[in-house]
Each structure stands twice: as structure tokens, then as C-alpha cells.
Amino acid sequence: MDYKHSLIKFTAVLSLFLTGISTINFTPNTGTTQQVQAATKKSSKTKKLNAVTKLAKKQVGKRYVWGATGPSSFDCSGLVQYVYRKAGDKNLPRTTYSQVNVGKKVSLKHLKKGDLLFWGSASAPYHVGIYVGGGKYVHAATPAQGVRKQTLSTYFYPSAAKRVL
């Protein structure tokens, strides 16, 4: 009888234990909070850069007017400031000379969409454009040419690049 009583007691405890385990919710840890936040931030950044590229291309054909900041005409730094404010949710300084001081310096061999391209020296640039991928950039060129999309060439190659997003 003692054996039978112990077996019943053991079975009762075991069933309570197993019932308790079955109600525990096991959620596997597939990534840390930091990894999820980093992925979300990267996705948001990619969306902004795509929006910057798209808006820059949309300005092609508009007039160049010295000192203009859009939306119907631009000078080179006004175009950059306008596009980044509208599509990148980023306020950049007004002039090329000030814009070159924003962001992280990047190699001209490793350009990504949205990078700012500068002509002249890093300390005294005279022109800025937006890299849109595929070896091309958009810039407000001259009063005769207006806003254009052009291919990077050795004839008119930028001297510096900055990543601002």
C-alpha cells in the first residue's frame, strides 16, 4: 500500500508540475534590443537616402539662380540644403563653404547614394552636388545649364565627399 500511495502522490505532483510548465510562454531570443534598434535605424536611414536621391533627380531641369534655395530655382548649395531638408529631414548650412564641415568624410572610391560631393579644396570648396548612385550626381551647375544629372568624370572630378546621413 505504501508503494501505491507514493506512486499516486508522485503522479499528482508531476501532473501539477507539467501543467505549470505548459502555461509558461517561451519566447526565443532572436536578437537583442540594440540589434533591433540598429536595424530599424538603418532601414529609416535607407528610406531617407532613397528619398534624397529621388527628390534630387526630380529637380533636374530647374533653373540655376545664384543665391536661390528652391523650390523653382537653385544655386548648388541651395539645392543640397533644400533636398536634405525636404527629403532627408536634415537641416544643412546654407553655403558650400559651411556644408563641407558637416558629416563624415568618405573616400571618393566608396561613394553611396546621398553623399555630398565637393569641388575645390576641403577647406575652400566652390561647388557641391549630391551623389545619386551609378557614377552619377545631381547639381545646380550654371545659369546656362541649370540643375543637371551628370556622370562623374576625370575632367570635373570632385575633390572631397561627405556623408551627412
Does residue 95 carry a catalytic annotation?
no
Catalytic hit among 56, 76, 79, 111: 76
Catalytic hit among 79, 116, 127, 132: 127
Compute φ and ψ for 125, nearest 5 degrees: -75, 150
Catalytic hit among 70, 114, 139, 158: 139
Do 131 and 84 contact (CB within 8 A), yes or no?
no
Does residue 5 carry a catalytic annotation?
no
Catalytic positions? 76, 127, 139
